[in-house]
Every structure is written in C-alpha cells, then in structure tokens.
Amino acid sequence: MRLDSPRRALVFAFHDVDGIVDDAYLAYVSALVALAERSIVVVNGGLEPESRARLEALGATVLQRSNEGYDIWAFKAGLDALGEHLAEVDELLVANSSVFGPVGSLADALAAMDARDVDFWGMTRHAALGGAASGRGRAPRAERAHIQSYFTAFRSSVLRSEAFRAYWRDLPPIRDYADAVQAHEMVMTGYFEDAGFSWDTLVNTSDLEPFAENPLIAMAPALLDRGCPVFKRRLLYVGAGGLLAHTAGSVSRQLWQRLRDAPGVDIDALERHAARTMRSADLDLALQDFVSIDTGPADDASTVAVVVLPGPLAAQQASGMLAAGMRTVLLARDGDALTRVDGAEVVRTGTRPPHLALASVDAELLYVLPSIDAARHEADARIAFEHARQALGWERDELGRVARAFRESALLGMVLAPPSPARNFYGGIGGARPERRLAALEAACGALGVDARALADAAPGAGLWIRRATAAQWSAAVDAMPAAERDRAERRLQPHDWLAIMTAVLPRLGWRVRRGISRDLAETLAAVSSAAYASINRAAGAVDGEGLEATLARVDQRAITATVFFDVGPGFAHATSRSFERRAGGSLEVRVRVPEDALGVRFDPLEGAGALVEGILIEPAELRIVPLNGTRSRGVDLFSSHDPAYLVSGPAAGREIVIRAERVERISVDASALELVERRFGAGGPVARARHLAMRAGSKAVRRLRRRG
C-alpha cells in the first residue's frame, strides 16, 4: 500500500550507559518525533532527570523500564503503551538509538517511501547469512536477507493483522545477544513475508552484498551516497579486528570525513558524544582523524607558548623557537638544572613534574617539545625531537595550522604525535613497561578512574600540544588522587607514561585527543611499516593468502587470553569483563561469578585469531554454551573468525559459573589452514559440516524459487 499524508506513531528504544540524552542522540530522536503524531520513548535502564526533560520537551511520552530484553522488549513495551492508538495510524515507526542521524532530511526519506507500494519497510537490509546461522536451529529464516532492526516501519495493513498481534504477543524472552539477533532480527522480515506482506528498504544494497554481508558497516560512505539518512554509532569506535576483517581499514575515517560536510550533521555533537563514551585509542584507530601540519590554511601563532623541558637538546630547542619569533618558556622543577637562553622565560613548578604543572604557563595554547632524560643516550633525544618536529611542527606556519585546529574545534584538548618505531622506542608500542613502572601506572589509572588497558601509545619524549584550560583540569584530576598513589606515580612514571594516562583521562573530562602528522612522517611510517611487516612475516613464517590475525597467531603461541564478558547494557558494547591467561594448545578452566545485573554472558576463548576448541563444558549443568560464530562437530568447535565467541544461555546472573575445555588452540583462518583442519578431523569434521550446512541452505533456496516460479 502507498501512503498520502500519513498519520504516524513512533516507538523509540533508548539506552545510554550514563543515562544521558546528549545532543548526538537528540538530533535523531527529535527528527523522528517531528514526523509522528504520538511518540513513545522507552528507556532501558537509567535516565538522568535533565535527559528525561529533554525528551518530554519534544512532546514524547517517556517510559522507563529495567534494562532487560534488549531493544526488542522495549519495542514491545512501547507497542503496549500505544494500545488502541495503533488502529488510528497509517504507519508505525519502530527505531532504536544504535544509529545517529539524520544525514540530510529524514522527512524526505519517509516521503520517498510513501510512494512505494509496500506493507512494511526498513532503512537498510542485511544480506542472507546462509546455512551456518540457521544450522543451530534458532533462526529458521536466516537464509533470507532481512531488514536491519534499528528502524522498521509497519503500515496499517500489517498493524491491523492477526500476524502482527501474534508476533509481539508470542515474542520469546530475549536473554542474550544471540536471542536478540536470532529470535527477532533474522526472523521478523521472513515472518511477515510468509504472512503475505511485501517489504522493501529505502536504500538498495543488493548489488553491494556480494562484497559485504552488512554494507551499513563495511560500506557506510557508499550508503550515504545512496541517500541513507543514518549511520551506525559503533563505526566511531570499532577496533582493529573489525576494521581489518571486513574493510581495507579506512571506512570509519571516510565516514567521518563525509560527516564533516554532510547537511544537517552537528559534528561538534558527535565529538562531544565520542569524548564522553569512547576510548581515545579506539577513536584514533577508527577515525584516523589527524591534524595535518603541512596542508591547509594557518592561523597566527601568537597565542602559543612553546614549552621547553630540561634535557640534552633544551638549549637548541629554545634557540630555534626564539629564532622563529615564538614565545618560549623553560619549564622545570625547583632545583632542576637549566641552561639559560637569552629571551626565554623561566617558570618553576615546585616539586611537581612539568607534565603535571603545564597550566603554570600563562598562554592559551602550549606546545611542549619532547624531552629525553639526559641519563639515556643522546641519540634517543635527537630521534624523539625529530619525530615531534615532523608530527607536531617546527616552522611557524606549521604551528599556525595546529593552532587553527584548536580554534576550529572547541572540544580539541590535546594533540600528540603517533608512536615512533625508531631505535629503542619500538618495544614500548603496545604498552609494555618494566614491572615497577607498570604497577605504578596501573595504580595511578585506578586512582584516576580509567582502565590501564585503554591507554593510547604515547610518542617518545612526550611532546604534545594542549590548551591551558585542558592542562588545568588535568592537574586538578591528579591533585585529587590519594596522596600515596600520586607520590609513587610521580617518582616512578616517566613523562610518556603520564601522557598515555592523559589520553584516557581527558576524554572523560570532555576533551578530544587527536594525533599530529605531516606528509613526510606519513611517508616514513608507511615505508618503515612495510619493511617491518616483511621482516615480521619472514620471522613468523607467514604465507601468501594469510591475514594479519593468522600471522599473529603464528607469532604468539606462548599464551592465550580467555575473556568472559557480562552484558550490563544494550548488548556487549558496554560489557564489563574478566580475562584469564592460559597456555595455548592446552586445557582451560575459567571460574567466575556473574554479576547480579548481567543480562547476558559471552565467552571468548582467545583473541585475534581463529580457534579450535575441544570438549567445552559449562557448570551449572542447566546452562548452555554454544558457538556464536563457529561450527560444532563431534565435540570440536571451529572458529574461522578473528574473534571466536560463545554465548551462555540460561539463568546465570548472580551465580558462579565454570567453563572447561579439554583443548584450546589458535589456528589461522586462511583457506589452506582450514584444509589442514579438515584433514585432521576427517571428512565429517567441522569444515565439512560448515560446507554441508551452506549446501543445504542453497538447496532450500533453489526449491523455494522453483515453488514460486
């Protein structure tokens, strides 16, 4: 059926880990509410009073419920609240807060769909998943493409049907993420199609699906080109595994660049949301949002003070900046030796390390040049200085470009250099530190309320740009630490340790952290990286056709890290977790107590490679543990994925669970390695099982087409 000036209702499911409806969320929900004559916003979990007021000011009715059943049971609660009003509308919009938008006009998108003769529709669709997903018996319609459930519109032909009432009346309990996907998203489209209703999507991606099962993630910029008015929130923080497993690694960066100029998009609101909810290291990787020092217009650098710290190159650095006409400040603790330089100011920080007292310098912007302890080789100081010059600037126009980046974004708090692979600095990439320093760093992170595992890598010498206002907040946060922890950290941590901690603390204070770059440094890092890849591959015995995760599996056979995730939010994106290190190729036993408020439990036997798991069991016996993205055959689970995972179903909240496996082994996920697995387990092994399921699904599809023909 087509629509003309339709009357609409809206059910919107919302969850935020902090219970905050910020401007990024509000832009989307307000656009939806404006298109409906009645709107129900169902909040799973907490909601700040100010955020409730923001939603109610839109004219929406706000329902708050416990965070259970995911967005699907929130939808059901909203439908129950609408009640008989459903009989009066021409179209019901059902949406959730896992996407942001609108990009362009949401009203125009809905108007375009009004002209299409369909009974229900969505924004985008997921490609058919094939037999592997349906083979577990929980998603019988997974062999079909389906509407992605973040947005579905049902017209009156569906709303007034017994099929619609029965679907929501008989909705099964949603206990975990697998249920959410397999009992609703994979099922719903086929259910209503089998009931005789027609469907479509706003954006046609059928030609993209041979290249990506989920174009909304893998090809997001292309979907914007095709008029998609939304994008997935998780593209702002997807990790390396997600980027490299499904894309060339640049999809989030391309999306972010497009959003900067997209009509109706408030990029500042997205930046504020990202700073509040996402790790700086994840944003670095996903957005690749560098500050270029050698392209684009430059501001006057008169608001900048260049800060020089004690070290073997301090006099050279100060003289060079003074020669460029820059205000230059020598910053040191009381008693630290300083080489006086004519024209440079001197500021003493008492007993505080300079990186904790940057706000002592009275300037709007501070450019802190790197410093290496004189006790180390002076070559380290020279390389750190050269690296910072190429990333953060040296000439006055380069400094002006960084100053312009701060002026253009009021949320930009700090710019630092990428980590350097040169000389002795290579081993520090990835966060490795001596034991005593690591213990002090972890204690400092705990006192500051951040996760030591979430820190971004800092460049050698700890050069950086920072606003004075940001530096003042940073100093206040350190001052609020317990005195004993602060004193120990000040004694043991090096400047780049503090800088790494800042990358986690500043986003919690509302500031963005970005990296500086120049074309010279980018070319150097690209060339050095290529050479490093070749050396590592030769040492690891990598072969043509392998992916990164397979090569890493070759290198790291010493231990595996198994992790149990507890879903305490809208899916495992906001999960808490506990990790356990075990020997690769051996048995595994994990014993953990599940939190009382956990909605679901996921178990990852290892990270970053495929896996073979033999004889996995869980206690208590009434619980089940099933592969989420693997295939089971003869007591062996095969995961041809870089992120192997199990889902635990049953009443686990508040209980101690024990997960045991006879053997957990890393494997490569390339075709040759899977053939070796097949030979090892025989013709009826896990690879053959997966192929059989795919063939069975293909046969079903052929039979269905013949019946329709």
More confident residue, 162 or 272: 162
CB atoms within 10 A of CB 292: 15
Q: Which of 301-305, 335-339, 376-380 has the lowest mean pLDDT?
A: 376-380
> Per this entry, what is the length of the chain?
709
Four-residue CA torsion sign, 554, 555, 560, 561: negative
Going by C-beta distance under 8 Å and a sequence separation of 6 or more, which residues neighbour residue 50?
A: none
pLDDT tens readout for residues 430-485: 777 777 788 889 899 999 988 887 788 888 788 999 999 999 999 999 999 999 99
Whether the predicted pLDDT of 376 surpasses 70: no
Q: Which of 38-47, 119-128, 535-544, 577-586 has the lowest mean pLDDT?
A: 577-586
Mean pLDDT of 172-185: 76
pLDDT at 81: 97
Residue 570's pLDDT band (cuts 50, 70, 90):
low
Q: Rounded to an integer, what distance in angstroms lies between the CA atom of residue 25 and that of residue 13?
A: 12
More confident residue, 494 or 374: 494
Mean pLDDT of 486-494: 91
pLDDT at 143: 67
Task: List the structure tokens of 386.
Answer: 């050269």
pLDDT tens readout for residues 388-422: 999 999 999 999 999 999 999 999 999 999 998 88
pLDDT at 550: 64
Whether the predicted pLDDT of 353 surpasses 60: yes
Whether the predicted pLDDT of 306 surpasses 60: yes
pLDDT tens readout for residues 189-227: 999 999 999 999 999 999 998 888 889 988 999 999 999
Q: Which of 269, 225, 250, 301 is nearest to 26 (CA)?
A: 269
Cα–Cα distances in angstroms (integers) from residue 614 to residues 199, 557, 662, in the given order: 43, 17, 6
* Geometric angle at alpha carbon 430, from 426 and 433, rounded to 5°: 80
Mean pLDDT of 223-245: 83
CB atoms within 10 A of CB 176: 25
CB atoms within 10 A of CB 685: 19
Q: Which of 63-77, 326-340, 562-576 has the lowest mean pLDDT?
A: 562-576
Whether the predicted pLDDT of 9 surpasses 50: yes
Give percent of the chain above pLDDT 70.
Answer: 86
Going by C-beta distance under 8 Å and a sequence separation of 6 or more, which residues neighbour residue 177?
A: 70, 567, 571, 572, 600, 602, 628, 647
Average pLDDT taken over every residue of the chain = 85
Mean pLDDT of 519-533: 91
Q: Rounded to an integer, what distance in angstroms lies between the CA atom of residue 569 and that of residue 20?
A: 13
Whether the predicted pLDDT of 238 surpasses 80: no
SS3 43: strand
Residue whose tokens read 């270029």: 292
Q: Rounded to an integer, what distance in angstroms lies between the CA atom of residue 273 and that of residue 264?
A: 17
pLDDT at 658: 95
Residue whose tokens read 């099962």: 213
Going by C-beta distance under 8 Å and a sequence separation of 6 or more, which residues neighbour residue 469?
A: none
Q: Which of 215, 170, 200, 214 is nearest to 76 (CA)?
A: 170
Q: Which of 5-19, 345-359, 676-690 has the lowest mean pLDDT?
A: 676-690
Give percent of the chain above pLDDT 90.
Answer: 55
pLDDT tens readout for residues 594-606: 988 888 899 999 8
